[in-house]
Amino acid sequence: MKKRQTQITALVHGALIAAIYAAATYLSATFGIAYGNIQFRLSEALTILPVFTPAAIPGLTIGCILGNLSSPMGIWDILFGSAATLLAAICSRALRKVTVKGLPVLSLLMPVIFNALIIGAEITFLMIEGDATFAIFAVSALEVGAGELAICLAGGIPLFYAFRKSGIFEKTSLR
């Protein structure tokens, strides 16, 4: 019975994470900062959640799919954006125990790295007319990475400390 209850709780956590991620992405879109080279998606602060629960992996991925439904890059952003989110969430979860003064620094950096590389490449090949060069990719990757880093630091770190202090995931998540 307890295992079933834990599974249901994890499913609810994943669904809530997906819904909040999608809603925060749409909120960012209303300000024009959710898509494109320079993006400051408020939803990306949630990418710290795989540190606390594996339910965040599908939650973030599904939330990203839903959030990218209105992307001007269409199906490509749905596919590549959610792939970047999935890979980052898996790696964040795997690296959660690597900390500096209690902060899972590598987990915080996974979304920055994956989004910079994957979304930077997507932007380079879909939005740039003519031959895409490494220099164009590098600029796109740096722009995406900078926005991602800002949100992960400004939003992800406070969320990390708030969730760690609350202990909400400690008793209810699958380990």
What's the rounded mean pLDDT across residues 15-36? 96
**What pLDDT was estimated at residue 171?**
57
Residue pLDDT, tens place only, 41-54:
999 999 999 999 99
DSSP annotation string for 109-135: HHHHHHHHHHHHHHHHHHH--S---HH
This prediction's pTM: 0.92
DSSP annotation string for 54-114: TTHHHHHHHHHHHHGGG-TTTHHHHHHHHHHHHHHHHHHHHTTT--BTTB-HHHHHHHHHH
**What pLDDT was estimated at residue 60?**
98
Per the DSSP assignment, residues forming a β-bridge with 100 are 103
What's the rounded mean pLDDT across residues 129-158? 91
**What pLDDT was estimated at residue 5?**
81
Alpha carbons 17 and 12: distance in angstroms, whole number: 9
Q: Please check the confidence at residue 174 and state whether its pLDDT lies above 70.
A: no
State the average pLDDT for the chain: 92
Residue 11 is encoded by which pair of tokens?
């499913």
At 6, the pLDDT band (50, 70, 90 cuts) reads confident
Q: Please check the confidence at residue 150 and state whether its pLDDT lies above 60.
A: yes
**What pLDDT was estimated at residue 1?**
66
Residue pLDDT, tens place only, 91-139:
999 999 999 999 999 999 999 999 999 999 999 888 777 676 888 899 9
